[in-house]
C-alpha cells in the first residue's frame, strides 16, 4: 500500500515529523515501511503556462516555436519538440534557471531561434508516467483547461509529497486504506484524528432509488451486506487534477471521474466499490447469486471467463454483470456515454472471493481487499462518500435512499483483558493506566477496571483482533519491543539431547567424514524416469508425484539417493574433480497407492559413492583406481563400528542398476530375522556411460534397521591372557564358491577356540587349473583359560580341513 | 719371552694403527687375540716358565693384551661413528616433499550449521525433534491456525501432492506433532531441524528447497521476555559474545505476539558494512508467543500454559556466517565448495 503523506495529512497532523522519522516509527510498531519515495525529484522554477500560439520552426521540421504566457509581464518564446503541443493548452513550463532532475534550464538558441525555457513532459518532472495515457507519455504533460497560470507546478501536481510503501502482513489489511493508515499513525504518534463524515455530505434528490433498482442476495453466507445507490445524469469527464494526483501517487491509473471516484474511495476507506451503467442493466434489479453451471462472463479486462458454480456473481434479470468482489463485467461497464449509474458497495465473503480469484488467476485491487475481509462498517460510509463525490465532480444526482440487502450488523467484539495476564505473558510490569493509554491511542474503547480486568471493545476495522493475546501484541508493539526485559525461563532444568537415531546419524557422518568421505546434499525432487534406476530398496513401491511441479525434472519425490549422487559426481568430474568419495544421508519416499490418500512411506537412507583414484596423485603413492572392495571396506568399517560386522551379509545377487558381477545386496541378521539392508556395487557400465563417469561404485542402505540393531551399550571384554596359535591354510576350490561360505564352514568347525579367520590371499590363473581358485586363510586359535597345546589345535584344525574337503571338495594346497 | 711379547705388542700396535676398515680390524683382532691368535700362542709357552718368572711374564702379557684391546676398541668406536655418520648422510630425505595424508572428508556446511545450532540448544536443555517432509494440510497449516482459504497461506506457496498432502513449507508441523505426542506434559523444549519446500524460482537468494530450524518451549509461565532472553543467549553462542538482538513486531499466524528478530552484524559489530547493507543489523529469525489456538490443537490449555516458538533458515545463517553469496552453492555440491567447511 502506497501511502501519500500529503493525503495522510488530511486526517492527522504530521507537523514536525519527517517522512523518514514517520517511516521508522511505523516500522518499529510493526508495519514495515519498505521505502520512502520523495515525489519531488529536485524541481524548482517550474510554473503553469498557457500556450498562446504555436508556429512551425523555420529551420526544423520537428520543432515548434510557442508563445507561452506564464503570468509574467512578458510572454515567453519557447521552442518545443513535442508532437502533442498545441495552442490553447495549459502546460508545465520550466523557466530559465529552473531545475529538473539532472537538468538546468538556460536561455538557448535552437537552430537559430531563441528559447526562453522548456515545456515539460511528465517524465522530465520525475513523475511515473506509466499511469498516464499514451499520448501524454510520448509528449508534454497537458494540464486541465481550468488550471490557473503562473502557479508553482509542485502545488498543482501535488509533488510536495512523499510516498511510504507499507509492506503489510496479511493480518493488517485494515491499513489497505488511507483512513486505516491514519488510525495507525495516530496510535503511533499519539495525535488526534479528524475523519470525513460522508453521510452528512450526501445531498439526495427526492426521487427514491428504490424506484429504479432493487437488490437481492441469494446466498447470505457469501455476501452479508449488499448496498447500492442510484445516481442519474452523470457526465463522464476527467476527474479533478488533485484526485488524479492522489490516484497516481497511490499507483492507480486515472480513467474518468466515475471510475476515479470509486477508486479514490476504495483507497480512502479500503472498501472496493463498483459502478454499473444503469441503462445497460435489464429488469431494474441486481441479485447476488452463485454462477450457473457453464455461465460465461467477459470481465472488464476483455477476457472471457468460464464460471463455476462456487463463484459468486452479480446478475441483472437476464445475465451475470460482474464477478462479485473481483471484477466488473464488460456488458455493464461505465463508458463515456454513461448517464445513469448504480453504485455498489458490499461485503463479500473473503474465502469466496479468494477462491474465485485464485482459480481464474484474476487479481484486482478489489479482490485483494475482499480476500482479507473488509470492515463491515465501511460499506455504507464508502457508498455515501462516493455518492457525494459523484454529485460534486461528475454532476450526478443522488436518488433518495440506499437500496440494500443484508446488514452491516456485526457482533461486538469485547475482550476481557487481565492486567496480570498481560504482565505475566509479556514479562513486564505495566500499570493499568499505561495499558489504558495505549488503547486510547488505538481508539479502542474500554470500560472501567474490575479486579484488574478491563473490557476492551475492538473496532470493526481491526478484524485481526479477537483474543486477549492479540491485545497483548497491540500493547507490546506500541510500548516498544525494545522495552521488554530479557529473562531466562523459570522452572526445573531439563536434560537436552539427541534420540538414538539422531545420535547414530551423527556418528555415521563423523565416521565417514573422518574416513575420507565428503557429505553432499541433494534435492528431494527428481525426474520421474530416474526413480527406476535403483529400485532394489523400494521394491514394489510407487514414486510420489507433485500435483503441480515447477519443472518436469523435479516432479516426483526421490525413491533413492543414488541418481542425484551420480549427478553430483558427474558435476564434479566435469569440473576436473574426478577422485570422489561422497555420501549423503536423506529421506526417500514411496507409496503403495496409485491415488495417494495418505502420507507416503518416508525413510532415511545412507548413500555412498566412490570413483577415481584411491589417493590424490602423489610422488610416493602409486596411482590406483578404487574398486569394489574400497567401498565394501568402508561399509564394513561402519558396520564394525556399530558392532554389526558379523550381522551383515553381502550376497552377490546382482541388484538392478549395478554391474551384475560386481554388486551385492546387503542383509542384516538380527534376532533371528533377516532384513534387507541395502545394495552396493559398481554401477552398470551402461549407466556409467550415460553419466559420463569412469568406474563408479555406490551403495545405499536403510538406516532404520541399523538404528534398531546398532550397539548402543558398551561392555568390556577381558583381554586374552594366553597366547594364540596361528595356522595358515590355502585351499583350492571351484571359482564360483564364495569366500564367505568357506569362512562360514571354517567358523562353524573352529568353534569357540577359533578366534578369527582372515582371507589373506586369493589366487587364480597361472598354474591353477581353470575353473578353480586358491584361497588362503589365516586362522587364529586361542583358549581363554590356558595356553593351547599342539594336540588341541590340531584336533580342531583337522576338523576344519575335513569339513572344507567335504563341503567344497577343497584340496589343501601344498 | 718378554722380548717376544714386547715385539708382538710393537708389531700389533703398529698394524692396528694403520687399519682403515672394520674387516681388517676384525682380522687383526683374531690374529692377535683370537683363540688361535699370536698372543695366545705366546702364552701357551708359559707352562715352561719358572714360578718366579710366571707372574712377571703374566703381567707383561696382560699389559700387552690390554694395550691391543684398547686400540681395537677405540678403532671400533671410530668405525662405528663413521658408519653412523655415513648412514645418516645416506638416509637424508627432502623434508619439503609432501607427506602421505590421512583420508579426509567433511560434513556438508548446512548440516554443520544445523549441528552447531542443535548443540547450543541441547546445552540449554532442548531435545531434537523431527518430522516427515511430506505433511498433511492439517499439520502444516490448519493446526497452526491457518485454516483453508486463509489469506496468510499466500505467504508460502506450496508444493501439493493432493488436496490434503503437501511438502511441508515449514518445520512448524513438528511443533504440533510433538505437543500431541507429549500429551500435555511440560516443559516442552524442542528444536526441530529439517528440509522445507516453497514454490520459489531458484536464484542467488532463493531455493525451492531449504532447511529450517525451529524451536518450541511450553511451560506453565513462559513469557515473552524469556523468548528475548533465550534468543539473546543463542546469538551470543552462535555469533560471538558481543552480538545483540533487536525485536520488531511482525505477523505469523501461529504466534501472537509475533516478532522479527535481527542480530547486530557480527562482521562490522553494528557499524554498518556490506554484509548488513549498512544497517548494522541482520534479519535472521522469526519468533513469537505460541498462539492459543495452536496450544489448544496441541492439547495444551492456553489459560494454564504459554509458550514461545522461533524459527530460522539454516541456509541464511550459513551464508551470513561463512560469507557465501549464492544459496545454490549448497545444492551444486561442488567439492571445491563443500570441502571448505572443515575446521574446529
Query: A589: nearest CA in chain B?
Result: B134
Model confidence at A814, pLDDT cuts 50, 70, 90, reads low
Mean pLDDT across B219-248? 94
Q: Is A325 left (phi over 0), alpha (psi -120 to 50) or beta?
A: left
pLDDT reported for residue A513: 96
B335 and B215, same structural domain? Answer: yes
**Reported confidence tier of residue B13, pLDDT bands at 50, 70, 90:** confident
The answer to whether the Cβ–Cβ distance between B225 and A484 falls below 8 Å is yes
**What are the cell numbers at A161?**
509529497
Asked if A509 lies within 8 A of B111 by C-beta distance, the reply is yes
So what's the pLDDT on residue B155?
Answer: 57
Q: Is residue B134 part of a domain?
A: yes
Q: Do A493 and B125 touch (CB under 8 A)?
A: yes
Does B180 share its domain with B40? no
List the beta bridge partners of residue B211.
B195
Give chain A positions within 8 Å (CB) of B152.
169-171
Are residues B48 and B159 located together in one domain of the fold? Answer: no
Residue range A696-715, pLDDT digits in tens: 999 999 999 999 899 888 99
Q: Which of A354, A453, A484, A554 to mutate to test the interface with B (most CBs of B within 10 A)?
A: A484
Average per-residue pLDDT for chain A: 92
Closest Cβ opposite residue B162 in set A426, A580, A596: A596
User: Among A28, A351, A582, whose Cβ lies nearest the Cβ of B248?
Assistant: A28
Q: In what order do the strands lie in the sheet with A453-458?
A: A413-418, A453-458, A445-446
Residue B94 falls within a domain, yes or no?
no
Long-range contacts of A302-305 (CB under 8 A, 24+ apart): A302/A330, A303/A362, A305/A360, A305/A362
> Residue A493's pLDDT is what?
86
DSSP string, A264-294: HHHHHHS--EEEEEGGGSSTTEEEEEEPPTT
B268 and B192 share one domain: yes
Residues B64 and B207 in one domain: no
Question: What are the pLDDT digits (tens) for A322-363?
Answer: 999 999 999 999 999 999 999 999 999 999 999 999 899 999
A interface test, pick of B216, B223, B339 with most A CB neighbours within 10 Å: B223
Q: How are strands ordered across the β-sheet holding A327-328? A: A214-217, A285-290, A312-315, A320-323, A327-328
Binding-site residue ranges of B: 256
Which residue in A has a C-alpha nearest to residue B231's C-alpha? Answer: A486
A59 is in an annotated binding site: no
Is residue A109 scored above 90 in pLDDT? no
With contact defined as beta carbons under 8 Å apart, do A429 and A262 qualify?
no
Residues from chain A that touch B280, judged by Cβ atoms under 8 A, are: none
What pLDDT does B62 receive?
Answer: 87
Instruction: Note whether residue B166 is domain-resident.
Output: yes
Q: Which residues in chain A touch residue B118, judged by CB atoms under 8 angstroms apart?
A: 498
Q: Do the Cβ atoms of B160 and A548 come within 8 Å?
A: yes
B13 assigned to some structural domain: yes
Nearest residue of chain B to residue A584 (CA atoms): B108
Cell numbers that stand for A641 in this block: 563400528
Rounded to the nearest angstrom, the minimum Cα separation between B85 and chain A is: 26
Q: What is the pLDDT of residue A535?
A: 87
* Residues B183, B135 share a domain: yes
- B-chain residues within 8 Å CB-CB of A32? 248
Within a domain: B179: yes
pLDDT of residue A185 exceeding 60: yes
Q: Using the structure block, give the residue that is written with the C-alpha cell 446478475.
A: A315
Helix axes A257-269, A178-189, angle to 10 degrees: 30
Bigger pLDDT: B211 or B43?
B211
Q: In this structure, are residues A326 and A366 in contact, taking their beta carbons and an 8 Å threshold?
A: yes
Task: Determine, for residues B330 and A521 on separate chains, whether the beta-carbon distance falls below 8 Å.
Answer: yes
Whether residues B97 and A619 touch (CB distance < 8 A) is answered with yes
pLDDT of residue B156: 61
Based on the domain organization, do B83 and B210 belong to the same domain? no
CB B228 to CB A484 under 8 A? yes
Q: What's the mean pLDDT in A628-647? A: 94
* Distance from the A272 Cα atom to the nearest Cα atom in chain B, whole angstroms: 17
What is the average per-residue pLDDT within A730-741? 90
- Percent with pLDDT over 70 in chain A: 100
Nearest CA in chain B to A349: B149
Give how far B106 is from chain A: nearest CA, Å: 5
In whole angstroms, give the CA distance from residue B165 to residue B134. 7
pTM of the complete model beyond 0.90? no
Instruction: Verify whether the Cβ–Cβ distance B331 to A521 is below 8 Å.
Output: yes
pLDDT of residue A101: 85
Q: Is B162's CB within 8 Å of A350's CB?
A: no
**Domain assignment of residue B67, given as a range:** 1-87
- What are A389-416's pLDDT values in tens digits? 999 999 999 999 999 999 988 888 999 9
Could B331 and A509 be called an inter-chain contact, meaning their C-beta atoms sit closer than 8 Å?
no
Q: What is the pLDDT of residue A111?
A: 86
> Does the pLDDT value for residue B151 go beyond 80?
no
Q: Between chains, do B110 and A521 touch, taking CB under 8 Å as contact?
A: yes
Is residue A474 a known part of a binding site? Answer: yes
* Cβ-Cβ contacts under 8 Å, A482 against chain B: 246-247
Domains of chain A: 2-39+162-195 (3.30.56.10), 44-157 (2.40.50.140), 199-406 (3.50.40.10), 413-482 (3.30.56.10), 500-709 (3.30.930.10), 725-812 (3.30.70.380)
* Domain-embedded: residue B59: yes
Higher pLDDT, A449 or A662: A662
Between A101 and A702, residue with greater pLDDT: A702
The alpha-carbon gap from B241 to the nearest alpha carbon of chain A, in Å, equals 16
Residue B278 and residue B172 share a domain: yes
State the smallest CA–CA distance between residue A334 and chain B in angstroms.
31
Ordered DSSP codes for A12-53: S--TT--HHHHHHHHHHTT-EEEEEEES--S-EEEEEEEEEE
Looking at the structure, do residues B242 and B179 belong to the same domain, yes or no?
A: yes
Q: What is the pLDDT of residues A451-481, one digit of tens each?
A: 889 999 999 999 999 999 999 999 999 999 9
Q: How far is B301 from chain A (nearest CA, A)?
A: 14
Same domain, B80 and B143: no
Q: B162–A27: do the CB atoms touch at under 8 Å?
A: no
- Chain A contacts of B197, Cβ < 8 Å? 524
- How far from A112 is each of A63, A78, A138, CA to CA, in Å? 12, 12, 25
Does B230 contact A488 at a Cβ distance shorter than 8 Å? yes
SS3 A110: strand
What CATH code is carried by the domain that includes residue B197? 3.30.930.10
What pLDDT, in 10s, does the model give residues A170-181? 889 999 999 999
Measured CA to CA in angstroms, residue A712 lies from A504, A635, A640, A670, A798 at distances of 9, 18, 13, 15, 38
Q: Exposure pattern of A136-156 as b/e (b: 16+ CB <10 Å)?
A: beebbbbbeeebebebebbeb
How far is Cα of residue A704 from the mean position of the Cα atoms in its chain? 33
Q: How far apart are the CA of A499 and the nearest CA of chain B, in angstroms?
A: 7
Indicate whether B307 and B204 sit together in one domain.
yes
Closest Cα in chain A to B258: A473
pLDDT-based confidence at residue A655 (cuts at 50, 70, 90)? very high
From chain B, pick out residues whose CB is under 8 angstroms from the CB of A515.
Answer: 103, 105
What is the percentage of chain A residues whose pLDDT exceeds 90? Answer: 76
Residue from B130, B202, B256, B258 whose CB has the most chain A CBs within 10 Å, to mutate: B256
**To the nearest whole angstrom, how far is the Cα of A443 from the nearest Cα of chain B?**
20
Predicted confidence at residue B152, as pLDDT, reads: 66
Nearest to B335 among A487, A546, A577 (CB): A577
pLDDT at A766 over 90: no
Neighbours of A452 (CB within 10 A): 13
Task: Looking at the structure, tell me whether residues B227 and B329 fall in a common domain.
Answer: yes
In a domain, B209, yes or no: yes
Q: Provide the shortest C-alpha distance from residue A309 to chain B (in Å).
A: 17
Domain count, chain B: 2
Chain B residue closest to A351 (CA)?
A: B149
Give B248 to chain A, closest Cα distance, Å. 6
Cell numbers for A809:
571338495
Residues of chain A contacting residue B332, judged by C-beta atoms under 8 Å apart: 571
Residue B105 domain-assigned (yes or no): no
Question: Mean pLDDT, to the nearest integer, of A31-42?
Answer: 89
Which of B121, B134, B247 to mutate to probe the A interface, most A CBs <10 Å? B134
How high is the pLDDT of residue A661? 93
> Which of the two residues, A449 and A176, has the higher pLDDT score?
A176
From A10-19, A82-91, B294-303, the region with the lowest mean pLDDT: A82-91
> Which has the higher per-residue pLDDT, A697 or B53?
A697
For chains A and B, CB pairs below 8 A equal: 247
Distance CA B22, CA B16 (A): 11
Which residue among B104, B219, B224 places its CB closest to the CB of A426? B224
Q: Tell me which chain A residues have a C-beta less than 8 angstroms from the C-beta of B148.
A: 351
**A692 labelled binding-site residue:** no
Calculate mean pLDDT across residues A683-692: 95
What is the interface pTM, i.e. ipTM, of the complex?
Answer: 0.88
* Cβ contact A170–B247 (<8 Å): no
Q: Which residue of B has its CA nearest to A27?
A: B248
d(CA A48, CA A89): 10
Distance in Å, alpha carbon of A425 to nearest chain B alpha carbon: 5
Least confident piece of the model among A209-223, A267-281, B48-62: B48-62
Would you place residue B65 in the very low, low, confident or very high pLDDT band (cuts 50, 70, 90)? confident
Q: Contact A709/A674 with Cβ under 8 angstroms? A: no
Chain B residues close to A600, C-beta within 8 Å: 134
Q: Cα–Cα distances in Å, from A609 out to A450, A628, A688, B121, B238?
A: 71, 11, 13, 33, 33
- The residue ranking higher by pLDDT, A620 or A728, is A728
Amino acid at each position: 500500500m502506497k501511502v501519500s503523506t500529503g493525503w495522510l495529512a488530511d486526517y492527522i497532523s504530521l507537523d514536525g515529523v519527517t517522512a523518514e522519522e514517520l517511516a521508522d516509527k511505523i516500522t518499529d510498531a510493526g508495519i514495515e515501511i519498505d521505502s520512502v519515495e520523495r515525489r519531488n525529484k529536485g524541481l524548482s522554477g517550474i510554473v503553469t503556462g498557457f500556450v498562446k500560439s504555436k508556429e512551425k520552426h523555420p529551420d526544423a521540421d520537428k520543432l515548434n516555436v510557442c508563445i507561452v504566457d506564464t503570468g509574467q509581464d512578458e510572454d515567453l518564446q519557447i521552442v518545443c519538440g513535442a508532437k502533442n503541443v498545441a495552442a490553447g493548452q495549459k502546460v508545465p513550463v520550466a523557466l530559465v534557471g529552473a531545475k529538473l532532475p539532472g537538468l538546468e534550464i538556460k536561455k538557448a538558441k535552437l537552430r537559430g531561434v531563441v528559447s526562453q525555457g522548456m515545456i515539460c513532459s511528465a517524465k522530465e518532472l520525475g513523475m511515473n508516467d506509466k499511469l498516464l495515457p499514451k499520448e501524454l507519455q510520448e509528449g508534454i504533460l497537458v494540464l486541465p483547461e481550468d488550471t490557473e497560470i503562473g502557479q508553482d507546478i509542485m502545488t498543482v501536481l501535488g509533488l510536495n509529497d512523499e510516498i511510504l510503501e507499507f509492506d503489510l502482513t496479511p493480518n493488517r489489511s485494515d491499513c489497505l486504506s488511507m483512513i486505516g493508515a491514519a488510525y495507525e499513525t495516530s496510535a503511533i504518534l499519539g495525535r488526534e484524528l479528524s475523519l470525513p463524515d460522508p453521510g452528512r455530505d450526501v445531498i439526495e434528490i427526492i426521487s427514491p432509488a428504490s424506484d429504479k433498482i432493487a437488490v437481492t442476495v441469494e446466498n447470505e453466507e457469501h455476501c452479508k451486506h449488499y448496498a447500492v445507490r442510484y445516481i442519474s445524469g452523470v457526465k463522464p469527464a476527467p476527474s479533478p487534477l488533485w484526485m488524479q494526483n492522489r490516484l497516481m501517487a497511490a499507483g492507480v491509473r486515472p480513467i474518468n471521474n466515475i471510475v476515479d471516484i470509486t477508486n479514490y474511495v476504495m483507497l480512502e476507506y479500503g472498501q472496493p466499490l463498483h459502478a454499473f451503467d444503469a441503462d445497460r442493466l435489464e429488469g431494474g434489479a441486481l441479485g447476488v447469486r452463485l454462477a450457473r453451471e457453464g455461465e460465461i462472463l467477459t470481465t472488464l479486462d476483455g477476457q472471457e471467463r468460464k464460471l463455476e458454480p462456487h463463484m459468486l456473481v452479480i446478475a441483472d434479470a437476464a445475465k451475470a454483470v460482474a464477478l462479485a468482489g473481483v471484477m466488473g463485467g464488460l456488458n455493464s461497464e461505465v463508458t463515456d456515454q454513461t448517464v445513469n449509474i448504480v453504485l455498489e458497495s458490499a461485503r463479500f465473503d473473503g474465502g469466496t472471493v479468494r477462491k474465485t480469484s485464485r482459480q481464474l488467476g484474476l487479481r484486482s485491487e478489489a479482490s485483494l481487499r475482499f480476500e482479507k475481509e473488509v470492515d463491515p462498517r465501511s460499506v455504507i460510509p464508502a457508498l455515501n462518500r462516493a455518492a457525494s463525490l459523484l454529485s460534486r465532480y461528475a454532476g450526478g444526482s443522488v436518488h433518495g435512499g440506499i437500496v440494500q440487502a443484508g446488514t452491516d450488523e456485526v457482533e461486538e467484539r469485547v475482550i476481557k483483558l487481565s492486567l496480570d495476564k498481560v504482565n505475566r505473558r509479556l514479562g513486564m510490569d505495566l500499570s493499568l493506566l499505561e495499558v489504558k493509554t495505549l488503547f486510547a491511542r488505538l481508539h479502542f474503547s474500554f470500560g472501567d477496571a474490575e479486579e484488574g480486568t478491563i473490557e476492551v471493545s475492538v473496532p470493526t476495522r481491526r478484524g485481526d483482533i479477537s483474543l486477549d493475546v492479540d491485545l497483548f501484541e497491540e500493547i507490546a508493539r506500541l510500548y516498544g519491543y525494545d522495552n521488554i526485559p530479557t529473562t531466562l525461563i523459570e522452572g526445573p532444568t531439563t536434560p537436552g539431547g539427541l534420540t538414538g537415531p539422531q545420535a547414530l546419524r551423527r556418528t555415521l557422518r563423523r565416521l565417514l567424514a573422518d574416513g575420507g568421505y565428503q557429505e553432499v546434499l541433494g534435492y528431494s525432487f527428481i525426474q520421474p524416469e530416474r526413480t527406476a534406476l535403483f529400485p532394489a530398496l523400494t521394491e514394489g513401491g510407487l514414486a510420489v508425484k507433485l500435483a503441480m511441479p515447477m519443472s518436469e525434472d523435479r516432479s516426483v519425490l526421490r525413491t533413492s539417493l543414488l541418481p542425484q549422487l551420480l549427478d553430483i559426481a558427474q558435476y564434479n568430474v566435469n569440473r576436473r574433480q574426478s577422485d570422489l568419495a561422497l555420501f549423503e544421508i536423506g529421506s526417500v519416499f514411496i507409496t503403495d497407492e496409485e491415488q495417494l490418500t495418505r502420507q507416503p512411506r518416508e525413510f532415511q537412507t545412507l548413500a555412498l559413492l566412490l570413483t577415481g583414484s584411491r589417493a590424490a596423485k602423489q610422488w610416493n603413492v602409486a596411482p590406483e583406481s578404487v574398486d569394489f572392495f574400497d567401498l565394501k571396506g568402508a561399509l564394513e568399517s561402519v558396520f564394525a563400528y556399530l558392532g554389526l560386522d558379523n550381522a551383515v551379509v553381502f550376497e552377490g545377487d546382482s541388484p538392478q542398476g549395478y554391474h551384475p558381477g560386481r554388486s551385492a545386496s546387503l542383509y542384516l541378521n538380527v534376532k533371528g530375522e533377516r532384513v534387507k539392508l541395502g545394495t552396493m556395487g559398481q554401477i552398470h557400465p551402461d549407466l556409467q556411460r550415460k553419466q559420463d563417469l569412469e568406474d563408479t561404485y555406490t551403495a545405499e542402505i536403510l538406516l532404520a534397521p541399523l538404528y534398531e540393531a546398532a550397539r548402543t551399550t558398551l561392555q568390556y571384554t577381558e583381554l586374552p591372557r594366553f597366547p594364540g596359535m596361528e595356522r595358515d591354510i590355502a585351499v583350492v576350490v571351484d571359482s564360483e564358491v564364495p569366500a564367505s561360505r568357506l569362512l562360514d564352514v571354517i567358523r562353524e568347525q573352529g568353534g569357540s577356540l577359533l578366534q578369527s579367520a582372515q582371507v589373506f590371499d586369493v589366487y587364480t590363473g597361472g598354474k591353477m587349473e581353470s575353473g578353480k581358485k586358491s584361497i588362503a586363510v589365516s586362522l587364529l586359535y586361542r583358549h581363554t583359560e590356558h595356553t593351547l597345546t599342539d594336540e588341541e589345535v590340531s584336533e580342531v584344525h583337522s576338523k576344519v580341513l575335513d569339513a572344507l574337503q567335504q563341503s567344497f571338495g577343497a584340496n589343501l594346497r601344498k | 719371552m718378554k722380548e717376544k711379547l714386547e715385539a708382538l705388542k710393537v708389531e700389533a700396535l703398529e698394524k692396528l694403527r694403520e687399519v682403515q676398515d672394520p674387516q681388517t680390524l676384525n682380522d687383526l683382532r683374531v690374529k692377535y687375540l683370537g683363540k688361535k691368535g699370536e698372543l695366545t700362542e705366546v702364552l701357551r709357552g708359559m707352562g715352561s716358565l719358572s714360578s718366579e718368572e710366571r707372574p712377571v711374564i703374566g703381567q707383561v702379557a696382560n699389559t700387552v693384551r690390554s694395550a691391543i684391546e684398547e686400540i681395537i676398541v677405540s678403532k671400533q668406536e671410530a668405525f662405528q661413528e663413521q658408519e653412523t655418520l655415513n648412514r645418516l648422510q645416506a638416509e637424508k630425505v627432502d623434508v619439503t616433499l609432501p607427506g602421505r595424508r590421512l583420508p579426509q572428508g567433511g560434513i556438508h556446511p548446512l548440516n554443520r550449521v544445523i549441528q552447531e545450532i542443535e548443540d547450543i540448544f541441547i546445552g540449554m536443555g532442548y531435545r531434537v525433534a523431527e518430522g516427515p517432509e511430506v505433511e498433511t494440510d492439517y499439520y502444516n497449516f490448519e493446526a497452526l491456525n491457518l485454516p483453508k482459504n486463509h489469506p496468510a497461506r499466500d505467504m508460502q506457496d506450496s508444493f501439493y501432492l493432493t488436496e490434503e498432502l503437501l511438502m511441508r513449507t515449514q518445520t512448524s508441523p513438528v511443533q504440533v506433532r510433538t505437543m500431541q505426542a507429549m500429551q500435555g506434559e511440560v516443559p516442552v523444549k524442542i528444536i526441530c531441524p529439517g528440509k522445507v519446500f516453497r514454490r520459489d524460482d531458484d536464484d542467488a537468494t532463493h531455493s525451492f528447497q531449504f532447511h529450517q530450524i525451529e524451536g518450541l518451549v511450553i511451560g506453565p509461565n513462559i513469557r515473552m521476555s524469556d523468548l528475548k532472553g533465550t534468543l539473546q543467549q543463542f546469538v551470543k553462542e552462535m555469533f560471538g559474545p558481543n552480538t545483540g538482538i533487536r525485536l520488531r513486531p511482525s505477523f505469523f499466524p501461529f504466534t501472537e505476539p509475533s516478532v522479527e528478530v535481527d542480530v547486530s552484524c557480527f562482521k562490522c559489530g553494528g557499524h554498518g558494512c556490506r554484509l548488513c547493507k549498512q544497517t548494522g543489523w541482520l534479519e535472521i529469525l522469526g519468533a513469537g508467543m505460541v498462539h492459543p489456538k495452536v496450544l489448544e490443537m496441541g492439547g495444551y490449555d492456553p489459560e494454564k500454559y504459554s509458550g514461545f516458538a522461533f524459527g530460522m533458515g539454516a541456509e541464511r545463517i550459513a551464508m551470513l556466517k561463512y560469507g557465501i553469496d549464492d544459496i545454490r552453492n549448497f545444492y551444486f555440491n561442488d567439492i571445491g565448495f563443500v570441502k571448505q567447511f572443515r575446521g574446529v
